Structure 1
Amino acid sequence: MRASLVRHAIALAAAAVAATALAHGDGSPGKLGSVHFQVGCNAAAQREIDLAMAYYHSFAMEQVKAPLERALQADSGCGMAHWVRALASLDNPFGWPGNVSAKTLAEGAELMAQARRTGLQSERERDYVDALDVFFRDADKLNHATRAKALEAALRAVATRHADDTEATILHSLVLSATFDPADKQYRNQLQAASQLEPVFKRQPDHPGVAHYLIHSYDYPPLAAKGLSAAQRYSKIAPAAAHAQHMPSHIFTRVGAWQDSVEANTASARADSATGWNTLHAYDYLVYAHLQMGQDQAARKVDASAKALAGTPDHPAAAYAYAAIPARLVLERGDWAAAAKLPLSPAAGSYPWAKYPHAEASNAYARALGAAATKDAEAVAAELARLQALRDRAGELKLGYWVEQIGIQMDVVRGLAAAKRGDSDGLAALRRAAEREDASEKNAVTPGPLLPAREVLAGMLLEAGQAGDALREFEAVLGKEPNRLRAMAGAALAAERGGEAAKARGYNDRIARQTAQADTGIQGLQLARLSVTR
C-alpha cells in the first residue's frame, strides 16, 4: 500500500512539472494544459502553434486565431498555421454537419492550398494537410458523411504512419468518436477512440484534448462511469478554458451527480469571457441539474441570465439553450398550461431561428405536449404542423440526426394526445415512440431529452391505473437517466399504488436526500410528486 502511495505521489508530481502555463490571447495569464504539436517553424512560431492547439483542444475556436496570426508574423513560412486555422474553422466535430457552412468549406479548401504555398517542412506536415484536405475536397459533390468518414480514415493513416506522434492519435480519436452511428448500441467508434486515448492519458495526464475527448467518448449511459477520472481531471488541466469547466458535467449528468454538475457549469459560465455560446450551453446543463434537485428558483434565475445575455450569440449550442431552458422549466414540473403557451425567446425576427430548426423544435415540442395534456386538439394540430415544417427544414439543411429526433417528438405528441382522448392505440403509440428514442442517442448539445418518451408513456400508464407497468417504465427511464427527479417520483407513486411499500419508501428516501436543498418553499418530495400528478 505504501509503495503504491509513493508511486501515486511521484506520478502527481511529474504531472505538475509537465503542466504548461500558457496565456490568453489578450496576454493575461491562464492555464490551458500541456500541448506540443511539433511543426518545422521557428521557436516563436512553435510556441504560438502550441497555444493555438491548446485552445483548439478545449474548443475555444475563436481564440485560436490570434496565436496563429502571431505565428505567421514570427515565421512567414509556417504553413501549418494555415492548417490549424482550417481545422479550427470546422468547429466542434460533435456539432457536424450543422455547424459547418458551405462558406467554411470553400475557405478551408483555400487554406489547404495556402498551407502548401506557404511551406510544409516535413512528410508528416504534408500528411496532415493531405488528411484534412479530404474533408474539403469535392464538398460540392460528396455528402458530409462520406467526407467525414474519409477524414477519419486519413487521420488513422497519419497516426499509423507516425506512431510516435500522439497528436495524430488524439485527433484521430476525436473524429472517430464524433462520427459515431447513433443506432450503434455497441458503441464501437466511441470505445475504439477511448482505447486509443487511455494509454495517452497515462503518459500525458495534463493534455486537455485527451481528457476532453475521453469524456465525449464515454458520454453514454452504459459507459459514463468510465469517464469519471477524465471528468474529475479536465477542469483542473485547463482552468482557463470555459469548455473545460463545463465538459465534466456531461459525465456528472449521465451518473446523476447534480451538485457536481451545478458547480462545473457555474465555473464554466464564469470562465467564458470570449464567447456567449459556451455560457448558454453551460446554462442549459445548469438549469437541468437545478431542477433535478428541486431548485426551481435557482433554475429561473439562470433562465433570466440567459435571456439577459448581451449579443444573443448566433451559434447552434446557444440556439438550443435559448429554446430548451424555458421548456425544461415547465415540462419538468408538468405545468402543461404554461407549456402550451410557452413563447419562443429570443422572439422570431430578432434571432436567426431558420438556421436552427432543431432548436426551435424544443419550443414547438413543449407547446405540443402542453396542448396534448390539456386536450386542446386545435393547438395540438397547429404545433404538429409546426414540428413538421421544422423537420422539413432540418432535412433541407441535411441535419439527419435532428430529422429523426423531431420525428420522435411528433410521435410522442400524437401518442399522448391519443391516450388523453382515451384512444386504445395511444399507449401503444407512446411505446413505439419510446423504443424509437431508445434506439438513438442524445446529442452532446443537450443534457437529456426535454421529456423522455418513455417517461411520458410511464405517466400515462400510471394515469390509466396500470401501476405495475408504469413502475417498470419509470425504472427503465432511471436506468438510462439516473437520479432523474420526475422519474423517481413516478416510480415511487407507481410502487405505492401497486402495493410495493418498501420500494416506494426507497424512492421517497432518495428523493428526500436529492431535494434536501430544494428552494421552492415546499418539500422536495411534494414537489416531485406534483411534477408527475399535476
Structure 2
Amino acid sequence: MIKSPFAIAAAAAAGLSLAQPALGQSDGSQLGTVHFETSCKPEAQKLFDQGMLYQHSFWYRASQHVFGDALKADPECGIAYWGIALSLLWNPHVPTPAKNLAEGADAITKGKSVGTKTQRERDYLNALGAMYADYEKVDHRTRMQAYTKAMEQLAQRYPDDDEAQIYYALALNTSASPADKTYASQLKGAAILEPIAIRQPQHPGVAHYLIHLYDYPPIAEKGLQAAQRYAKVAPAAAHAQHMPSHIFTRVGYWKESIASNVESARVAKADKEGHDQLHAMDYLVYAYLQLGQDEKAATVIDEMKAVTGFTETFIAGPYALAASPARYAVERGDWMAAAALQVRASPLAHVQAVTYFARALGAARSGNPEAARADIAKLAELRDKLRDAKDAYWSEQVDVQRQVATAWMLHAEGKRDEALILMSAAADAEDRTEKHPVTPGVAKPARELYGVMLFESGNAKDAFVAFEAALKKEPNRLGAYVGAAKAAEKSGESAKAHEYYSKVVAIADAADSTRTEVTDARAFLTKR
C-alpha cells in the first residue's frame, strides 16, 4: 500500500520550511554531512569535503569552484582534480557537453601528473578516466558502461569505502538499460545504498541517489523514505528540494510535488541556477495540470520565459522551456494552440522534437492532417539525426512521438483501422522504455492517447482497459481518470463510472472552472 499523502506532506513541510542560505554561506547542517578521506593538507581536506557536499546534490558550479579552492590550499592535492572532473560531467543521467569533456579529460591528466599519495586516490582518478577516455570517438553510453565496470572494481577493492560504494550505486542507475523492466541494476544499487543510509543518515548523496534508483512506477513506493529525508538533509540545495518530487510524481502525489518544486525553484532562483529553476518549474506545470489548476500552470510558464543562467547545450533548461508550453496545450486538449506552438531554437534535437510532436498532434486533432504531415517529417528528421549521433534512447523516444502523431494524422484522414494499429504499437513501444529523469512525464502518455482514440472510434470497453493500463504506469493522472470514467459510462458500467468520476472530483477538487470535465464529473455524481 502507498502511504498516505498527508503523512508525506507533513514530512515534506518540515523539510521545506527551513531557511535557505546563499551560495558560500552554507554550513554542513544546510547541505548534509560527507567525509571523503584524502591525503591532502588539512585545509584542503576541509574544502574537499565541502566540494563533495555540493557535488552530491548536483550543484556543479559550486563543487567545481570549491575543488579548485582545495588545489589552491594544497597544489599537490591531486585527488582534487578528480573532483573537478566529476563536477564537469554535470548530471550523469545525460551526455556531457563537448566543452566539458575536453576540460574534464584535461583535469584527469593534470591529476595524474600532479600525482597522489595513495593507491586509492590513483584508483579513483583511473576509474573516472573511463568517462573521458576517447570521448571524441566513443559515445556516451559506451563510456558510461566502461565507467560502471571501473566503479564496480573500485567498490570491490575498497569494500569499507562508502564513497566508492555510493558512486558505484549511482553508476548502476545511470548505465541501466531503459528497456529492462526487472530494474535489476537499480535494485542492486539500492541494496548497496540502503545500509549506508542507516550508517550515514545525513549523507546527501545516499538519499539523492536512492530517489533516482527508485524513480520507476513499479518500485517508486520504495523511494518514499528517501524522498521524505533528502529535502531535510540538504535544505540549502535547490536540487535537494526538487528531487522528492520525482517520487511524488511517480506515485501521483501532486500537492506534495508542488510544495517540493515551489521551494526548489525559489532556492535555484536565489542562487542563479537557471537549469535547476527551469527543471523544477516544468515539474510544477505538470503537477498543476493534473489538479486542473491551469491558471497557476500558465503563470509558471510565463515566469519561465524570464529565467536566465542556463546553457543551451545542456538538456535541463531547454527541455523545460520546450516541454511546459507543449504539455499545457496537449493536457488541456487545446489543439489549435498546440498546432501553433513556435519551435524554440535549440542545438538539441530531442528538445526540438517535443514541440514538433505537440504541433503535429495539435494539427491532426484540429482537422489539419497536412500540417501534421509536415511536422511529422521534422520528427523523422530529428530521429535520424539522433540515430546518427548514436543516441539510442532519445532517437527511440522521438520515433514514438512520430508514431503517435502519424496515428492521429491517419485518424484525421478517416483511416481509423490503420490509426488504431499504429497507435497501439506506439503505446507498446513507449511502455517498453522509461521516462527520462529530466522530465516529469511526456506531454500525454501514448497509452492514454490510445484510449482516447479507441473511445472516439466507438470502442468504449477497450478504451477503458487502455485508460486503466495508463493509470497503472502513471498513477493519478487527471486525463486518464476522465477517460476511464467516460468509457465506463459509455459501456454501461455504472459502478466503474461512479468510481472514476469520484476520483476526478477528488483529485481536481480545486480545478479551474474552465475544466468542464470536472464539472461533468460532479454532475454525474449528483445524479447518482
Using structure 1 for the length normalisation, give the TM-score. Answer: 0.90
Q: Which residue matches 2:293?
A: 295
Does the CA-based 8 Å contact 1:63-1:274 persist in structure 2?
A: no
- Which secondary structure does the structure 1 equivalent of 2:298 belong to? helix
- Which secondary structure does the structure 1 equivalent of 2:272 belong to? coil
1:461 corresponds to 2:454: yes
1:120 corresponds to 2:146: no
Alignment of 1:3-82 (within 5 A): 25-27=23-25, 29=27, 31-82=30-81
Structure 1 pair 422–521 and aligned structure 2 pair: CA distance change class (3 A): closer
Specify the code of the residue in structure 2 equivalent to 1:53. M
Gap runs ≥5 in structure 2: 1-14, 524-528
Q: Which residue matches 2:10?
A: none
1:485 corresponds to 2:483: no
Gap runs ≥5 in structure 1: 1-15
Bigger mean CA deviation after superposition, 445-454 or 396-405? 396-405
What do residues 270-320 of structure 1 show as CA deviations (whole Å, max 9, x unaligned)? 111131010100011000000000110100000010012235643311111
Q: How many residues align?
A: 501
Does the CA-based 8 Å contact 1:489-1:529 persist in structure 2?
A: no
Structure 1 pair 256–84 and aligned structure 2 pair: CA distance change class (3 A): same
> Which residue of 206, 214, 221 maps to 2:202?
206
Q: Distance in 2 between matches of 1:211 and 1:109?
A: 29
Cα displacement (A) at 1:338 = 1.2
- Which secondary structure does the structure 1 equivalent of 2:33 belong to? coil
Q: Which residue matches 1:13?
A: none
1:106 corresponds to 2:102: yes
Q: Distance in 2 between matches of 1:307 and 1:118?
A: 45
Structure 1 pair 63–375 and aligned structure 2 pair: CA distance change class (3 A): same
Does the CA-based 8 Å contact 1:295-1:520 persist in structure 2?
A: no
Does the CA-based 8 Å contact 1:357-1:393 persist in structure 2?
A: yes
Q: Distance in 1 between matches of 2:298 and 2:142?
A: 43
Q: Distance in 2 between matches of 1:387 and 1:521?
A: 32
Q: Distance in 2 between matches of 1:104 and 1:260?
A: 35
Specify the code of the residue in structure 1 equivalent to 2:285. V
Does the CA-based 8 Å contact 1:296-1:520 persist in structure 2?
A: no
Q: Distance in 2 between matches of 1:34 and 1:527?
A: 52
Does the CA-based 8 Å contact 1:336-1:373 persist in structure 2?
A: yes
Q: Which residue matches 2:277?
A: 279
Structure 1 pair 301–82 and aligned structure 2 pair: CA distance change class (3 A): same
Alignment of 1:386-405 (within 5 A): 386-405=378-397
Specify the code of the residue in structure 1 equivalent to 2:76. G
Cα displacement (A) at 1:27 = 3.4
Does the CA-based 8 Å contact 1:327-1:363 persist in structure 2?
A: yes
Alignment of 1:268-417 (within 5 A): 268-272=264-268, 273-311=271-309, 313-314=311-312, 315-344=314-343, 347-348=344-345, 353=346, 355-417=347-409
Structure 1 pair 237–524 and aligned structure 2 pair: CA distance change class (3 A): farther
Bigger mean CA deviation after superposition, 24-33 or 414-423? 24-33
What do residues 29-50 of structure 1 show as CA deviations (whole Å, max 9, x unaligned)? 5711111111111111111111
Q: Which residue matches 1:517?
A: 510
Does the CA-based 8 Å contact 1:294-1:519 persist in structure 2?
A: yes
Does the CA-based 8 Å contact 2:68-2:84 persist in structure 1?
A: no
> Which residue of 147, 153, 162 maps to 1:157?
153
Structure 1 pair 520–432 and aligned structure 2 pair: CA distance change class (3 A): same
Cα displacement (A) at 1:394 = 2.2
Q: Which residue matches 2:240?
A: 244
Q: Which residue matches 1:86?
A: 85
Does the CA-based 8 Å contact 1:459-1:470 persist in structure 2?
A: yes
Does the CA-based 8 Å contact 1:458-1:473 persist in structure 2?
A: yes
What do residues 475-511 of structure 1 show as CA deviations (whole Å, max 9, x unaligned)? 0000000000000000000001111111111111111
Cα displacement (A) at 1:528 = 7.8
Alignment of 1:432-471 (within 5 A): 432-471=425-464
What do residues 143-174 of structure 1 show as CA deviations (whole Å, max 9, x unaligned)? 33332111111111111111110000000111
Q: Distance in 2 between matches of 1:485 and 1:391?
A: 30
Using structure 2 for the length normalisation, give the TM-score. Answer: 0.91
Specify the code of the residue in structure 2 equivalent to 1:510. K
Q: Distance in 2 between matches of 1:313 and 1:112?
A: 24
Q: Distance in 2 between matches of 1:489 and 1:135?
A: 46
Does the CA-based 8 Å contact 2:26-2:236 persist in structure 1?
A: no
Structure 1 pair 23–498 and aligned structure 2 pair: CA distance change class (3 A): closer
Q: Distance in 1 between matches of 2:105 and 2:353?
A: 33
- Which secondary structure does the structure 1 equivalent of 2:86 belong to? helix
Q: Distance in 2 between matches of 1:23 and 1:253?
A: 27
Specify the code of the residue in structure 2 equivalent to 1:436. A
Structure 1 pair 529–108 and aligned structure 2 pair: CA distance change class (3 A): farther
Specify the code of the residue in structure 1 equivalent to 2:315. P
Q: Distance in 2 between matches of 1:22 and 1:297?
A: 28
Cα displacement (A) at 1:28 = 5.2
Over aligned residues, Cα RMSD in angstroms? 2.0
Does the CA-based 8 Å contact 2:20-2:235 persist in structure 1?
A: no
> Which residue of 211, 227, 242 maps to 1:231?
227
Q: Distance in 1 between matches of 2:307 and 2:517?
A: 30
Specify the code of the residue in structure 2 equivalent to 1:509. S
Structure 1 pair 407–311 and aligned structure 2 pair: CA distance change class (3 A): same
Specify the code of the residue in structure 2 equivalent to 1:492. A
What do residues 363-383 of structure 1 show as CA deviations (whole Å, max 9, x unaligned)? 100000011112212201110
Does the CA-based 8 Å contact 1:486-1:528 persist in structure 2?
A: no
Specify the code of the residue in structure 2 equivalent to 1:52. G
Cα displacement (A) at 1:116 = 2.0
- Which secondary structure does the structure 2 equivalent of 1:223 belong to? helix
Q: Distance in 2 between matches of 1:466 and 1:453?
A: 17
Structure 1 pair 312–193 and aligned structure 2 pair: CA distance change class (3 A): closer
What do residues 38-90 of structure 1 show as CA deviations (whole Å, max 9, x unaligned)? 11111111111111111111111011122122211211111111110001111
